[in-house]
Amino acid sequence: MGSGTDPEAMDRITQSTRDTGGGRPPENRIVAALPLPERQRLLEATTRVTLNVRSVLFEPGGAVDAVYFPTDGVVSLVTPVHTGAVVEVATIGNEGVVSVPLVRPLTGFGVRAITQVAGHSLRMPTSVFAEWVAHSRPFQTLIERYTQALFGQIAQAAACNRLHSSEERLSRWLLLSQDRVESDELTITQEFIAQMLGARRSTVSVSAGILQRAGLIRYSRGNVTIVDREGLEAVSCECYAVIKAELDRVSRSPPAP
């Protein structure tokens, strides 16, 4: 992992073969979009790991030695500033890949990748990932689509952070997180949400209170329950729909042969 990574945070990334329920475990949408033979080969080339909250996958400027295909967790790309605060520039869940497009060269840029919602992921060494991009056209097509969508998300988030209210941004953030974990329940603190949104904790507290009084969410000490999704979508800015549509297009159509 990248130099400067918190060893304690890295200890929270553990290998796991545990199913997340009684049925089929959740899938990464890029992996699921591959033709079946290639999907099976790719799964054999990965290790399933558990990502706990605040697990750090790489640090700004550090080497990137693995890529991650989240299945039911959410990872944030954040930019640290000199005050010690961080601002989120993108989130990655089961629709994407963490460490793209940092694999070539094998060094990062000015962002940190940190788990915001605990879950599971498929881990692949960067050397293996590079081989797949070079030799599998379907995989290459999906990665190219996702990279374009990721840059679109970063650009949209920059505009959102500048132009939209705290309630709109919080709603967008909660909706995108819910899409990734496919659950109404999110385990997350106001402090961490404030870091992700680049806002004061007091601002997030006020915004969460407004959403709760409107009957859209229920919040209690580190747990957020989305009660009225349609209402939350109505409060959210247009950025949620724009980002979701772009991410959905990544794996909607079969990749080119």
Same-domain status, 106 and 211: no
Contact 70, 92 (CB under 8 A): yes
Burial label, 98 (beta-carbon count in 10 A; 0-12, 13-18, 19+): buried
Tell whether 176 is covered by a domain: yes
Are 115 and 173 contained in the same domain? no
Which percentage of the chain shows pLDDT scores above 70?
Answer: 84
Q: What pLDDT is stored for residue 108 in this prediction?
A: 54
Count of domains for the chain: 2
155 class by beta-carbon count within 10 Å (0-12 exposed, 13-18 middle, 19+ buried): middle
Give the Cα separation of 75 and 5 in Å (integer): 15
Residues 11 and 130 in one domain: yes
Residue-range definition of the domain harbouring residue 102: 7-135
**Percentage of residues in the chain having pLDDT higher than 90:** 39
pLDDT digits (tens, 9 = 90+) for 136-172: 999 999 999 999 999 888 888 888 878 888 899 899 9
Residue 3: which pLDDT band, with cuts at 50, 70 and 90?
A: very low
What are 84-126's pLDDT values in tens digits?
777 788 889 999 999 876 555 445 567 889 998 889 999 999 9
For 73, the token pair is: 């967790």
Q: Do 44 and 115 have their domain in common?
A: yes
Same domain, 45 and 94: yes
User: How far lies 221's CA from each of 73, 186, 212, 241, in Å?
Assistant: 20, 11, 13, 29
φ, ψ of residue 209 to 5 degrees: the values are -65, -40
For residue 220, what pLDDT is reported? 81
Torsion, CA 78, CA 9, CA 98, CA 81, rounded to 10? 20
Question: Which parts of the chain fold into alpha helices (H)?
Answer: 7-11, 29-32, 36-44, 126-135, 137-163, 166-181, 190-197, 201-213, 229-235, 239-248
CATH number for the domain spanning 70: value is 2.60.120.10
Is there a single domain that holds both residue 107 and residue 169? no
In the numeric block, which tokens belong to residue 4?
């400067």
Co-location of 44 and 131 in the same domain: yes
What is the value of pTM for the model shown?
0.81
Q: State whether 52 and 125 are in the same domain.
A: yes
CATH code of 209's domain:
1.10.10.10
If asked whether residues 129 and 14 sit together in one domain, one would say yes
The answer to the question of residue 253 being in a domain is no
